[in-house]
Structures are given as C-alpha cells and as structure tokens.
Structure 1
Amino acid sequence: MFLRVSTMNFSRILLLNALGVLLITSWWVPYFTFWSTLDDAVFWWFNQTIGDDHLRWTEILAALNSRRYDIFTILCMLGIMGWASYRDRQGGWRRWFGIGVTMLITAGLISEMVRHVITYGHPSPTVTFDEVNLTSSFVEFVTKDQAGNSFPGDHGIMSMIFAGFMLTFGDRLTRLASIALTLLAIVPRIMVGAHWLSDVLVGSLSICLLLLPWVLCTPLASRMSASVTAGLKRLESSLPLNKSNRS
C-alpha cells in the first residue's frame, strides 16, 4: 500500500489520511449504527463457539491469546525480517537492521502519542456484557480474554506498523507474509472478545492510516534507516578485528 518512495508523495499521504478520517467519522457519527451492530454480531457469533461443547476449539483460542503466542508472533516478525534481509541482494542484513531500528522508533513514538492524545476508551465486550463465555474459565493457563479499556487495539497498532514497514521495504513474498502474520496477531483477540472488531478496524487502522504515511510515504523512513545502516558500517570498520584484517 505504501511502497518505497524517495520523495514526498502528498497524493498518497492525503488518500490514506482521508481513509483514516472516513473510518473515524463512520464510527463517530451519532445514530449511525453500522459499527455497533457489526461489533455485537461478530462478538456473539464467536462467543457461542466457546465452552465445554467445543472444548478443543476453546483451548486453541485460549492458546492464541496467551503470552507464549505473543512471543511466538514477535519471533515470527523477526523471522520475516531475517527472510527479507536474506532475499535482499543489495543491502542485506545491515540495511534491514536499519529498517528494524527505524520501525521500533516509529512504533515507540506512535505508542506514546496514542497514550497521551487519545483520551477515549471503552471496555471489551467480555466486560460489557453479562453471561458471556470466557476462554479463561475453561483452561488452566493464563490467557487474555477481556480488557478494561480495549480501544484502540494495541496489538493491532503494533502489527500494522510492522506490516506497513514490510509493505514499504519488502518484496512481494515478505509483504504477503507480513499481512498474514498481522491477521494472525490481531484476529484471535477479536474472536475471544478481548477487543471489539471496531477497536482494530477503526481504532488501530485509522491511527496507522493517519500517522504511518508521514513516515513511510516520505523520505523519512528511508533516510533514518540509511543513517542507522551507515552508522553500523562505521562501527564495524572501527572495530579492532576489522582493522587487523585490513592490515
């Protein structure tokens, strides 16, 4: 969606920003019940599949919302970036190290901005409704199935930032892999009711559509990652081992 650019692409920035504003507006407009109706329908459709009658499925959902799965997702992100660096015949791992550092800085800044700027919040559907099926009631390990404030989806924001960078700097295969992993990271939270669908499709996506283009559709990300890569090369050249090899 973003694609690498060497100059500022105002038309793409404005288009993506407009989509973000449209999403927020469609959710915020009074008496427009599309998102609330869809939220309820999606939650109850999945919630009825949780319980003793579908115990194996319930255990799978619980596992997909555990801390171990979060760690697995992060390792998969690192794996995709490693795969991208292997397929990158020009820049290699040094270039992707710079991209990774730039992505972490971007994610940290956006996270802080969201935390301080967005004051609205609401509880997850499993907290909002009574008599719901909680995956944590059917398993003996710790799993996430509710949140006091589920808006916007934090998993969604971080996963979409990763996907945005891969769409910008990766090739076709790694782009597809990043999109698939993003879905695998986000969807389980919705399925167990830890997030409303709109927490992700409105909250997370609109934030990324409003902020990420100013990083990825401008030379900013490319220049930042190139600077990190250049600094890494200078550091390598200053190491005693490299000096002895040159002599």
Structure 2
Amino acid sequence: MSQCQFFAILLLNAAGVALFFSWYLPVNHGFWFTLDSAIFFYFNQNLATSPLLLYTVAITNNRAFDACALLAMVSLYFYHYQRGDSTERQRLLIIGVVMPITAVVLNQLGHLLPVQYASPTYYFSDINRVGELTGWPTKDASRDSFPGDHGMILMIYSAFILRYFPRRSFLISLVIVVVFTAPRVMIGAHWFTNIAVVPLSVVLVALSWWLISPASDEMINFFHRSLPARYRR
C-alpha cells in the first residue's frame, strides 16, 4: 500500500469518525435532529393532502419493491458482465461473492453501535401513517431504525462499483442509492440520518481500509486461487 493510499484511508477515517460523532455526541443529536424532524414533517404533512405522494410511498415501501432495488443493482452488474471476456466474467463473479460477504459483515458491525432509535413514526405522536391511510401493507415504521440496513447495503454496493467499475457506472449506482433509500425517509420508516449520515460514516471508516488497501483484492485473488485449475481463467 502506497503512502498516498494510506493518507487517503486516514483522511476518510477522520471524516467518518467526525461525521458519526457530530450526530452521536450532541444532546438529542443537535442540528441533525432539527434536520431530521424538518424532513419528516415536510413529507408527513403532505401525505394526507397528496394522493400521488401517499400511494407512491406506499408502493415503494412495500417489501416487494425491494426486489426492484436488487434488480437495478444486478442489471448494472450484468451490463458489465456480458461485455467482458471469460477472464473478466470470472473476476466479476468473484467480486459478486466478496461484495455481499462484505455487506453482511459491515451491516452486523453497524448494529453493534450502542444506539437504539425508533423511527419518526413511532417517535412523534399525532402524525400520518401510510398504512392507516391506505390500508396497504407497507413499511411505515420501525421500532429500531438504527442503522438503516437499506442505506448501508446500497452504499456498500456503490463503493464497490466505485472501486472496480468505470466512473459512469458509479454515478448510476449513486442514482440507485438515492432512488431506493429516499422512500424510507419519505414514509417515516427511517430518519434521514439513519439512511445517510450514520451508514455513510461506517462505510467511510470500514470500507476505506477494505477497498483502498489491497485487502479486497487479496480476498478476490484468494477465491480465484481456490477454484479448481480447470475453471480458472
């Protein structure tokens, strides 16, 4: 690992730690709570007056809609897979194994943080609940919305795209992150900070060591060496 890479890791770690403690240390999360509350009430007060918003967030927070997020991620991945030769395809398949392993480990580490935080729809009273307004099964609340699993996994996916794919694909992955995390905030199932700030701080700290250092490449090479010789490309 070069000095430049090491410096980049330290810089990203400092940014991630500063971001997390800017949320964690202040009483009631300081200005982050003000921002969280403003975002929640902006959308919540419009749920009763805008049928378009109401049914959009109801549909996009149904568990079946999560399959659309998976489809979007796989489609971007498959675009590069089908354009590659046999060697590149094998490499992409191995990256496709390393990525979910990384996501599971980091997501579990995120849950070790000493925080339990109910969603805005449980935190505030006298508010609009999409499930009650529509009668549809939809995720509009969570007893423990910390950290946002949805945001964490999508950010990890986007970080891998940044590391191993062209920059244009990274920009597309950012669009996927926004499109499929925003509904959780709009419906009140997560605070904005549970989707964006806290998962981002974990990703900045942990994934910088994993993706900027040779660690992820070593794991990819390990899986490649573990393949039977006749299957290696």
Tell me if structure 2 keeps the 8 A contact 1:85–1:93.
Answer: yes
Offset of residue 29 of structure 1: 3.1
Q: How does 1:1-247 map to 2 (within 5 A)?
A: 9-31=5-27, 33-51=30-48, 53-88=49-84, 91-115=87-111, 117-232=112-227, 234=229, 236=231
Offset of residue 41 of structure 1: 0.5
Unpaired runs of 5+ in structure 2?
none
Letter in 1 for 2:201: S
Structure 1 pair 65–99 and aligned structure 2 pair: CA distance change class (3 A): same
Unpaired runs of 5+ in structure 1?
238-247
Instruction: Encode CA deviations 1:7-65: one digit per residue, 9 max, x unaligned.
Output: 982111111111111111211233572101101101000111212x3123211111111
Aligned residue for 1:9, secondary structure, equals: helix
Offset of residue 93 of structure 1: 1.8
| Alpha-carbon separation, structure 1, partners of 2:228 and 2:84 | 17
% identical equivalent positions: 34
TM-score normalised by structure 1 residue count: 0.86
TM-score normalised by structure 2 residue count: 0.91
Aligned residue for 2:196, secondary structure, equals: helix
Structure with the largest fraction of helix: 2
| Alpha-carbon separation, structure 2, partners of 1:181 and 1:165 | 13
Q: Which entry has the higher C-alpha Rg, 1 or 2? A: 1
Tell me if structure 2 keeps the 8 A contact 1:101–1:228.
Answer: no
Structure 1 pair 40–234 and aligned structure 2 pair: CA distance change class (3 A): same
